[in-house]
Structure 1
């Protein structure tokens, strides 16, 4: 049986993802307006080796379950991280009901319904079931998962006050981030696609079809990404494979939970351990793996394996909020990127890319003196500025390469009055014209003559 090149095997978990044809997942290519139908040159595994990059988690950090400078995943938070010296900023992207890519971490929000009694009814609703206008008009609260308190008591405001500045508001669109966040900072775009957890619960039921979902996100990035540095990541291995297959401009990292005890584990076997994640990334040809810090601190041998396979390694997790762990990842483990909250808050830092830009500008702004050029025969400089050679004059030999011309009585140097046939021949052969005071170079008057 011949399988079309756009068909890829399904995940080993056997989950129904995308469109299924004879047990294979169909990946519809997406058109990149900047590189139309050209896939012969790929940058999907291009990564310039630098010092460890530092990435602002959700901008300046998680604000709903921890203390942060600004509301997470807002334009203000992303720009603040850039100002504090972040090399990249990480944020989460998903679709609204009207299929607009927005930046928000959780799949669900809480909606309060007022009643005549003092109590309120609280309902959990998926972001994908609300249009963008509704997300911005409704008063929404954050869903506190893994909490033992009743649902109606888990109230942390998502939406702000009516007079809140635009860049502080939640649910900015992906386009707004691409247009309004400093282009000097790179984007680590985490693509949020629901998965089935180990306990059998789907993170968000009845979600978008894979191709339709990804094409909307990639379209906005292609049209508005410009020259910004962008890397995609996702916990869903099928999403990673599809993003790498659909386009060849931006690299992809596989987000891995590993064998940690803090986060929910997924049914998909490729997500279970860090070593399995490394093997998956190497097998499907993506850039690398984004490991969980808890797993790496326990055993960082998978990162050693990733380096041997030529993969890039990032690390994320709450453990990186401890500066000691960040330094350990950078200097001992030698990862390529660390993602953490409240970047640049305790120490002043500058973006690696800003430093490179400053050095480049300094290099090109220096005035380099042009080398001394030997004057061509027949030029004004040749005639007027020849070195004086004692005992040599024009009457000795007209074929000598150098001649000393006497200085006229005026301050301006001119050729002397020609008195011999040899001097006339020299003047004619070098394009000189005769004047009352002597000979001067002939003036060119037309472009053709030049």
Structure 2
């Protein structure tokens, strides 16, 4: 029986600043099987790797990613509040992140974020960038984006990020454009768990820190863990 795939959440983000090349390098070093990262769009439509649509938390700048060109974004440094001016990190492009993962044979879990929801026509371009990768899937809290991915290429794997009140738990089979469900570990309980298992779709769990009892002997219905601490698995 195969074990769950370990995805480093935004890279090994407990060890290096999230969604940076350093975090991705650390994920490889710590033995992760794959990397989960987030994709937003610049004003000129370039896919970049960053979680927030607003730069205030990550860069201390009151600007939206969608209001900046890719050239402007390339000059911005993200990092911890009091050190980013000296030790800040560049914001990677999607091409950079995918190329890195391909070179290191890392599985890809690409989460499509708000600015992609605002411009779903860019899905085709994003897919063109990543489809040479062998082991990848797209995830999103926006189910419409998964529909768009399947519209462009029905062979691509998708996963729906679900919250407690975001889906109809009695009819999970209606989400035909989702090949899997990504859930927070808080939903690893009834009545949710049995319904997820009955759906027959892949189940990956985020929010894991590697100290949960379930990780010691993972049940067969778990396809993957998404964690800031890949070394603990």
TM-score (norm 2): 0.84
Distance 2:171 2:228 in 1: 24
Q: What's 2:172 paired with?
A: 278
Q: Provide, for residues 329-355 of structure 1, a one-character-per-residue CA deviation record: whole Å limited to 9, x for no partner.
A: x525741111111211x4xx6xxxxxx
Structure 2 residue runs without a partner (length 5+): none
Distance 1:105 1:256 in 2: 17
| Cα gap change, 1:241 to 1:311, in 2 (>3 Å) | same
Q: Which of 264, 283, 292 is matched with 2:184 structurally?
A: 292
Q: Which of 99, 114, 129 is matched with 1:220 structurally?
A: 129
Q: Secondary structure at the match of 1:90?
A: strand
Q: Which structure's residues are more often helix, by fraction?
A: 2
Q: Which of 316, 326, 334 is matched with 2:206 structurally?
A: 316
| Cα gap change, 1:238 to 1:133, in 2 (>3 Å) | same
Q: What's 1:338 paired with?
A: 225
Q: Does structure 2 retain, via aligned residues, the 8 Å contact 1:55–1:339?
A: yes
1:307 matches 2:197:
yes
Q: What's 1:327 paired with?
A: 215
Q: Does structure 2 retain, via aligned residues, the 8 Å contact 1:101–1:174?
A: yes
Q: Does structure 2 retain, via aligned residues, the 8 Å contact 1:88–1:187?
A: yes
Q: What's 1:101 paired with?
A: 47
Q: What's 2:2 paired with?
A: 50
Q: What's 1:130 paired with?
A: 68
Q: Which structure's residues are more often strand, by fraction?
A: 2
Distance 1:277 1:77 in 2: 38
Structure 1 residue runs without a partner (length 5+): 1-48, 62-67, 112-121, 143-155, 196-206, 260-270, 350-450
Q: Secondary structure at the match of 2:56?
A: strand
| Cα gap change, 1:74 to 1:139, in 2 (>3 Å) | closer
Q: Does structure 2 retain, via aligned residues, the 8 Å contact 1:326–1:338?
A: no
- Matching of residues 406-445 of structure 1 within 5 Å: none
Tell me by how many angstroms 1:104 deviates.
0.2
State the superposition RMSD in angstroms.
2.9
- Matching of residues 50-449 of structure 1 within 5 Å: 50-61=2-13, 68-110=14-56, 124-138=62-76, 156=81, 159-161=84-86, 169-181=89-101, 182-193=103-114, 208-211=118-121, 213-222=122-131, 226-259=132-165, 271-272=166-167, 275=169, 278-281=172-175, 284-296=176-188, 299-317=189-207, 320-327=208-215, 331-332=218-219, 334-344=221-231, 346=232
Q: Provide, for residues 23-71 of structure 1, a one-character-per-residue CA deviation record: whole Å limited to 9, x for no partner.
A: xxxxxxxxxxxxxxxxxxxxxxxxxx8321111111102xxxxxx3111
- Structure with greater Cα Rg: 1
**Matched residues, number:** 230
Tell me by how many angstroms 1:322 deviates.
4.7
Distance 1:238 1:157 in 2: 38
Tell me by how many angstroms 1:315 deviates.
0.9
| Cα gap change, 1:71 to 1:160, in 2 (>3 Å) | farther
Q: Provide, for residues 369-413 of structure 1, a one-character-per-residue CA deviation record: whole Å limited to 9, x for no partner.
A: xxxxxxxxxxxxxxxxxxxxxxxxxxxxxxxxxxxxxxxxxxxxx
